[in-house]
Amino acid sequence: MTPRTALDTEGAWFERSHISQLRRQLPICYVDVIPVRTEVDGSIAEVGLLLRASGEGQIVRAIVSGRVMVHETLREAISRHVEKDLGPMAMPRIPVSPTPFTVAEYFPTPGQSAFHDPRQHAISLVYIVPIDGESAPQEDALELSWYTVDELLGANTPLDEMDGGRDALVRRALAHSGLI
């Protein structure tokens, strides 16, 4: 068995103009992560939502999300994006199996699917990831708030502040977990 080499970060990122060109020509692989805090029995107690500026300059609620880099496993991508958005002490329980609970296909054309990203056609593997440690907003996130299931499903829900169909991903996560 060949030993695993370090992640190739030098060749994994593209120049801004190059990634823009690639986004126009082919689907890009992403991971979307629904961060949760769980009860002792494993049921979801709270869902973490970030507050950040969208590409259009609006302030929106968001989930942990990002591209999968070249030479990066899905587990590594999930871990990297959780750390990037929630901090190094978040201590995510990354699934043993990299099987997502759903797949979201984002299109640049509105209405082609429930998910929209004006920049690109993206295929996103979506995971529910329990967070055991201390978390705080990082990088471009303005805030991290934890919401109970009742708060997410009630009137004036923070899910209404999400864009691109990501509110549907949170609802799908709750349904997948038997909470809807």
Per-residue model confidence (pLDDT) at position 55: 73
| 44 burial level (CB within 10 Å; 0-12, 13-18, 19+) | buried
φ/ψ region of 91 (left if φ > 0, alpha if ψ in -120 to 50, else beta) reads left
pTM of the predicted model as reported, rounded to 2 decimal places:
0.86
Find the mean pLDDT for residues 128-149. 93
Q: Hey, what are 143's tokens?
A: 């805030």
Give yes or no for residue 14 having a pLDDT over 80: no
φ, ψ of residue 129 to 5 degrees: the values are -125, 115
Mean confidence (pLDDT) of the chain: 88
Confidence bin at 140 (pLDDT 50/70/90): confident
The answer to whether the beta carbons of residues 135 and 43 sit under 8 Å apart is no
Per-residue model confidence (pLDDT) at position 27: 86
